[in-house]
Amino acid sequence: MNFHLTKEQTLFEQMIKGFAEKEVKPLAAEVDELERFPEETVEKMARVGLLGIPVPAELGGAGGNNVMYAQAVEELSVACATTGVIVSAHTSLCIAPILESGTPEQKKKYLPRLASGEWLGAFGLTEPNAGTDASAQQTTAVEDGDNYIINGSKIFITNAEYAHVYIIFAMTDKSQGVKGITAFIIEKGTPGFTFGKKEKKMGIRGSATSELIFENCIIPKENMLGKVGKGFGIAMKTLDGGRIGIAAQALGIAQGALNETVKYIKERKQFGKPLSAFQNTQFQIADMQTRISAARLLVRSAAFKKDQGEKYSADAAMAKLYAAEVAMDVASKAIQLHGGYGYTREYPVERMLRDAKITEIYEGTSEVQKMVIAANLLK
Amino acid sequence: MNIVVCIKQVPDTTEIKINPVTGTLIRDGVPSIINPDDKAGLELALRMKDQFGAHITVITMGPPQADNALREALAMGVDDAIHLTDRKFAGADTLATSHALAGALRNLSCDLIITGRQAIDGDTAQVGPQIAEHLDIAQVSYLRKLDYDGKGTFTIERTVEDGYEILETEAPCLVTVLSDAYPSRYMTVKGIMEAYAKEVKVWGFNEIEVKEEVLGLKGSPTKVHKAFSRGVKAAGELYELDTDEAVGTIISKLKEKFII
Amino acid sequence: MENSLYKGVYVFAEQRNGEIQKVALELIGKARDLAADLNEKVYAVLLGHNIASQAQMLIEHGADVVICADAPELENYLTEPYTQAMCHIIDQHKPDIMLIGATTTGRDLGPRVSARVATGLTADCTKLEIGEDKHLLMTRPAFGGNLMATIVCKDHRPQMSTVRPGVMQSLEADAQRQGEVIMAEVPFETKKFKVKLVKSVKEKSNKIDISEAKILISAGRGVGCCDGLKLVKELAETLDAQVSASRAVVDCGLVGHDQQVGQTGKTVRPDLYFAAGISGAIQHLAGMEESGYIVAINKDKFAPIFQVADLGIVGDARQILKQLNDRLRN
């Protein structure tokens, strides 16, 4: 048993903290306020290798691991949850399925470009009528010679028009139910592939979230990811990994809110003394820190198990379930400790609470996490 | 071109605080960092590497934990690292330090030696020029810009009080760099993964050619006679007033002191 | 080394473009005290080209002897010719003490000379005195300014130290003072001259010498960047003062590095130092605590700046600046 970061992870922590503080944090309020996708940050992250952390060096990545990836998403989210989810969706939802299920040709074609950040990745599973019930896919892929013709639409897609590569799920055989779902790699610019409505969101407002529309979109068969009918398994496996990223994002939001609170309560004075001198305040921050530390252990252990090639599905679900709950709770308490100021946009905790809510919803709602955890217990 | 960058691991003095009661230094939990001027030196070297394909060696003298600073430099992109450490070097002042470093540098072939202008824990700005003297090469301190013609000539802008000087010199030479001259790059994730796989050469007294009498405490002409905590100035008057009263108090005090 | 062969308190009389720098006169002022304690003379070392005429000024400010090397090689400061000249003079005259201004010139020259003559050099001393055993006690801040260390150089001569401009005080010029001028011929080894001065560029660009200011209004993180800085500038205008800043404000790029007060910036001792929103990191305090009168405004009652302030106000620096300025203008 060893709870220490490795030497590499320790050095990485130093780097990512500095990067988040200097490059990401100064933009966070603006990106939120203007609903602006931080393209310049993506470029900077690409330069230092943050967009290909767990990709092996021979495929153009950094040769890192999932613990480091979780560290990265956490620290980026301490500063700006929008930036955290850009990396998470790119890495967990696009790079990971290609890495795990792609053919050697697909890996060679896509991974170096994705890992270097030349291309950004996205993932499309959710549809207007297929949310938590992902099996109700209505997007279809019909075989046509060497191609598939795709029709349908995907909603709430992170990285949307800023991505270049999309992992898309479609029904190849409706009669088979979930066994009729197949995954495809689709590139931006493919005829018949367009973007629909851009969502106006409560939080993570800088991340681009749009609808993807496929109208007789012709995809060559070599772009099928995995085998025909194996799409649902790929989607579920991908979401297992994605949950580590979102759990890390939630953890980062919570830590960010606590950091802001500790700073504030030392400065703010009421009744002649700083808020930090009141025992109620001290008890509050003690609870916040305890829960954050517990969430971090869950996140790191899920990532560690993934790195070891062990089963981690339930661990990732527990990490996400708990970290998302902690994020909501800590951000809400942080506002309470900030008082009226905390409710204004003068202080970042207001944004953090709005950002926190999505972590209970996407990549499986908290209820879905409980289903996964329970299923693991009852099998 | 071979470039050697000398770096020092220092406590992040911006994080050091004073205990308001005892007036002593709180050093617990103060992180160690690469000295900011030295980090700019690393960046200058890395840009030379990007542009001219230079080979960069980083060297530090210090205790075992200074290894971290070398790993960080490796993760930023330097090629080789040397850790100069020996009990015989301990207690060195700037002159004795410069002898040890110069001894190590004699083992290397270098066209350009880069140091930071000064370290934030000592602020002496001496080791660089003293190394240059021991190696009998030219020095340019307070560098804010360096251009290389690719053929051995450096054109250097050197900051001075009322502007800057443009100087020209040939390799080999030593320059000392200002921290804001070259804002340093981040370590890359790939660099971090490779940093610990690389070998850091550890050199002691036996690996360098320097007479023992110029090293360490024994070789240091300057000695600390005494160290003391700075006397806390008698506290003045402190008021918590509303803005209006505060302004009134300031104005009357300044008048009392004949400042306005 | 036979220390008794080394006599006299020497000052490197730095000149730029033929103009003696203020720090040289300050060091001569200090050298007078040291020389009195040692019962020795004060020597000024003047290096340059066509500068012999400046020797009288050094005498008027307290030098007993001026050793002048006047040569075209010394027209502009370059490390090697100046080092050769200094080392030649040290070799010929054997100084007990050598004081050098901690300017960009002095901090380039000092270490090179100390390494060549194999002696110690103590940087940025804030206090110089003669100890009981006639050694020079050189006190300097260490560790960002909180810790003070007194350094001695017992077995090597000269005892060298650099001192920042503004730390010592010069004497009033005395036109009646008499002294001796010795011209030195330096046997230059020109093959060691490897650095060429292409040109000197003056950057006026509102370069302000805050170390000369009588009143400094100093901005810290607590006034914020853009608009807070405007309030500081307005008050400075009203009081005919200059603007300085803490490192935090300089780092955000709105104030030049030449206006930074502190360990890595400048040491200042104005009559009034007005610290607005500066918490007072020890590096900062080291650069301003000698000021005549210190007013500090900060939100945090426990800010270290209040330990050195003569008048401390716990409050919002912006509001106070604004109202103070309004009241002073009316």
> What token pair was written down for B250?
């300031």
pTM: 0.86
Residue B120 lies in a domain: yes
Q: What is the mean pLDDT of residues B106-125?
A: 92
Q: Which B residues in the span 124-153 are in contact with A, Cβ-Cβ below 8 Å?
A: none
β-strand A273-274 against A193-198: which pairing, if any?
Answer: unpaired
Residue B231 lies in a domain: no
Residue B259 lies in a domain: no
**Domains with residue ranges and CATH for chain C:** 3-192 (3.40.50.620), 210-329 (3.40.50.1220)
pLDDT of residue B19: 62
The span from the first CA to the last CA of chain A, in angstroms, equals 27
| Rounded CA separation A228/A216 (Å) | 19
Q: What is the mean pLDDT of residues B51-66?
A: 95
Is the pLDDT confidence value at B68 over 90? yes
Residue B230 lies in a domain: no
Is the pLDDT confidence value at B253 over 90? no
Alpha-carbon distances of C284 from A215, C100, C220, C290, rounded to whole Å: 65, 24, 10, 12
pLDDT of residue C275: 95
- Asked if A133 has any chain C CB less than 8 Å from its own CB, the reply is no
Chain A's closest residue to B191, CA to CA, is A62
Of the candidates B121, B129, B158, the beta carbon closest to that of C112 is on B129
CA nearest to A67, candidates B192, B71, B78, B198? B192
Other C-beta atoms lying within 10 Å of the C-beta of residue A354: 18
Percent of chain B predicted with pLDDT > 90: 72
The span from the first CA to the last CA of chain B, in angstroms, equals 61
Q: Number of structural domains, chain B?
A: 1
Q: What is the mean pLDDT of residues A170-189?
A: 95
CATH number at residue B29: 3.40.50.620
pLDDT of residue C208: 62
Residue C315, helix vs strand vs coil: coil
pLDDT of residue C146: 63
> What token pair was written down for C41?
């003379």
pLDDT of residue C290: 81
Is the pLDDT confidence value at B232 over 60? no
Contacts of C321 in chain B (CB under 8 A): none
CA nearest to A153, candidates A116, A187, A120, A192? A192
Residue pairs between chains A and B whose CB atoms are closer than 8 Å: 54
Of the candidates C83, C150, C301, the beta carbon closest to that of B226 is on C150
> What token pair was written down for A135?
């099996």
Neighbours of chain A (3+ CB pairs under 8 A): B, C
Other C-beta atoms lying within 10 Å of the C-beta of residue C325: 21
The single-letter code of the amino acid at C208 is: I
Q: What is the mean pLDDT of residues A313-327?
A: 98
**Each residue's pLDDT tens digit, A208-217:** 999 999 999 9
Confidence label for A139 from pLDDT (cuts 50, 70 and 90)? very high
Residue given tokens 């299923």 in the structure block = A375
Alpha helices by DSSP H, chain A:
7-19, 25-33, 39-48, 66-79, 81-88, 96-101, 104-115, 231-267, 279-307, 313-338, 349-358, 366-378
pLDDT of residue C204: 65
Q: Which A residues in the span 55-74 are in contact with B, Cβ-Cβ below 8 Å?
A: 57, 61-64, 68
Residues of chain C with pLDDT under 50: none
Residues 6 or more apart whose CB falls under 8 angstroms from that of B157 comprise: B143, B144, B145, B146, B164, B165, B166, B167
pLDDT of residue B12: 81
- Looking only at Cα atoms, what is the longest distance across chain C? 68
Confidence label for A192 from pLDDT (cuts 50, 70 and 90)? very high
CA nearest to B45, candidates B2, B14, B15? B2
Residue B134 lies in a domain: yes
Confidence label for B180 from pLDDT (cuts 50, 70 and 90)? confident
> Following DSSP, what letter does each residue of B120-185 receive, concatenated?
TTT----HHHHHHHHHT-EEEEEEEEEEE-SSSEEEEEEEETTEEEEEEEESSEEEEE-TTTSPPP
pLDDT of residue C287: 84
Q: What is the mean pLDDT of residues A195-217?
A: 96
> What token pair was written down for B3?
């470039």
Lowest-pLDDT range of A183-197, A313-327, A347-361, C240-254: C240-254
Is the pLDDT confidence value at B231 over 60? no
Residue B221 lies in a domain: no
Q: What's the mean pLDDT when you consider all of chain A? A: 96
Alpha helices by DSSP H, chain C:
22-38, 55-60, 79-93, 106-117, 226-238, 247-251, 282-288, 305-308, 317-329
Interface test with B, best of A9, A11, A58, A67 (most B CBs within 10 A): A11
**Each residue's pLDDT tens digit, B133-179:** 999 999 999 999 999 999 999 999 999 988 999 999 999 999 999 98
Q: Which domain holds residue B21?
A: 2-214
**Each residue's pLDDT tens digit, B77-101:** 999 999 999 999 999 999 999 999 9
Is the pLDDT confidence value at B259 over 80? no
CA nearest to A303, candidates A320, A279, A321, A286? A320
Q: What's the mean pLDDT when you consider all of chain B? A: 91
Alpha carbon A340 to chain centroid, angstroms: 31
| Rounded CA separation C214/A375 (Å) | 76
Of the candidates B185, B189, B191, the beta carbon closest to that of A50 is on B189
Q: Give ipTM to 2 decimals.
A: 0.93
A363 is catalytic: yes
| Rounded CA separation C185/C199 (Å) | 26
| Rounded CA separation C201/C295 (Å) | 37
pLDDT of residue A94: 98
CA nearest to A225, candidates A187, A188, A184, A186? A184
**Each residue's pLDDT tens digit, A46-94:** 999 999 999 999 999 999 999 999 999 999 999 999 999 999 999 999 9
